[in-house]
Amino acid sequence: MSTATLTIDLNAAVANWRALDAKTDCETAAVVKADAYGLGADKLARALARAGARSFFVAVAEEGAALRQALGPGPNICVFSGHMPGDADMIGDLELTPMINSLDQMIRHVEALPGHAFGLQLDTGMNRLGMEPSEWAAVRDVALAQNPVLIMSHLACADEPDHPMNAQQLRTFREMTDGLDVPRSLANTGGVLLGRDYHFDLCRPGIGTYGGAPFAEARHVATLDIPVIQCRDVAPGETVGYGNSYVASRPTRIATISAGYADGILRAMGPKTGLWCDGKRLPIAGRISMDLIGVDVTALGQDPKSLQLLGPNQGVDTLADAAGTIGYEILTSLGARYTRRYLTA
Ligand SMILES: *Cc1c(COP(=O)(O)O)cnc(C)c1O
């Protein structure tokens, strides 16, 4: 077997979700969009439901439908994209709760599914999803008469605690919703960490549960071990990989491992990234190929069976920094070819 193994520690994810929950006095939901950030929405959501999560958020109704099959009846499944054309059967039959983003969506929803639960999404400055203050002022009374179950908005800069946008969005959210008798939600992971003013009735962390920044206390969740296919000696002056970008400056032992950019190991991270074995960091040698990566394992003094890209020594944010991106993109890029193993207890 030469596919890499992605090990997902469900206990660590549950511990992270609980640690975030413990920072609030309100309900803590779980955001499991994009297959729980690439880690497996069915497994993660079931583990979090067992730990007490009662509400789950996904990006689109199709994800919600799949999640309902995994979770069964009971938990709330909320859809950020709201009620799109063609969604009514899924929303109705599978008891999904769309977060309505506009008057158009509102009309579509109450016409297709009168009396069916929905939430409202407001735009407090991010200009991405939700009703803006002027639209909200016009629609508000009609919308409230339909008994929304939640009013939510989303923070643009919550991972930067000192950013003035946070307080500005909080102020706008309060102006748009203070005094209404509907549960409210504003905080993602970063928002949970901003403190109680941002928590309202429900928080919606995603990345912190999966071990990523800005939740610095997070336990490590995803580990990626990549098998070594072959090792060889490379003499000074010889090159490794496409474009001859690596030239050996000393007698070097090169291991070729079985994963590449087709598995979400971004080419951009190559020059700054190492793989780990026996507590040693081993630099990537040359360019990352589609299915293969060369690694300088000289420092090991022996040929390894596998090397670790993600693990306790090197988390998603370290990889992200090396590739000039964010941990979210590293996780959601994790390859379909990996063998996924789930650790419990
Ligand atoms: C993705 C998302 C979240 C979760 O954000 P994290 O930063 O991963 O905690 C919460 N709310 C909305 C609207 C989102 O799109």
Task: Render pLDDT for 158-206 as a digit per residue (tens, 0 to 9).
Answer: 999 999 999 999 999 999 999 999 999 999 999 999 999 999 999 999 9
- Residue 290 counted as an annotated binding residue: yes
Could you tell which of 28, 152, 154, 210 is best to mutate to test the pocket of ligand 1, judged by most ligand atoms within 8 Å of the CB?
154
**Structural contact between residues 221 and 13, judged by C-beta atoms closer than 8 angstroms:** yes
Mean pLDDT, rounded, for 309-334: 97
205 lines ligand 1 (CB under 6 A): yes
Please give the structure tokens belonging to residue 162: 């000192």
Is residue 300 scored above 90 in pLDDT?
yes
Q: Which atom of ligand 1 is nearest to the CA of 37?
A: 8
- Domains in the chain (CATH in brackets) are 10-210 (3.20.20.10), 222-343 (2.40.37.10)
**Structural contact between residues 307 and 226, judged by C-beta atoms closer than 8 angstroms:** yes
33 is catalytic: yes
Residue 75 DSSP code: S
207 lines ligand 1 (CB under 6 A): yes
Amino acid identity, position 44: L
Q: Which residue from 60, 109, 103, 102 is spatially nearest to 80, judged by alpha carbons?
A: 60
Identify the pLDDT of residue 33: 98
| Cα 156 to middle of ligand 1, angstroms | 10
Identify the pLDDT of residue 345: 65
Identify the pLDDT of residue 47: 98
- How many residues can be counted in the chain? 345
189 lines ligand 1 (CB under 6 A): yes
Mean pLDDT, rounded, for 10-25: 98
Its pTM stands at 0.97
* Percent helix / strand / coil, the chain, rounded to 5: 35, 25, 40
Q: For residue 254, what are the β-bridge partners?
A: 232, 296
Identify the pLDDT of residue 1: 78
| Cα 67 to middle of ligand 1, angstroms | 17
Task: Render pLDDT for 229-282 as a digit per residue (tens, 0 to 9).
Answer: 999 999 999 999 999 999 999 999 999 999 999 999 999 999 999 999 999 999
Q: Which atom of ligand 1 is nearest to the CA of 31?
A: 4
Q: Which atom of ligand 1 is nearest to the CA of 129?
A: 13
194 lines ligand 1 (CB under 6 A): no
Q: Which atom of ligand 1 is nearest to the CA of 205?
A: 9
Identify the pLDDT of residue 23: 98
Identify the pLDDT of residue 140: 96
316 lines ligand 1 (CB under 6 A): no
Could you tell which of 20, 80, 328 is best to mutate to test the pocket of ligand 1, judged by most ligand atoms within 8 Å of the CB?
80
Residue with tokens 């190991």: 265
| Cα 31 to middle of ligand 1, angstroms | 7
Element at 170 (helix H, strand E): helix 164-177
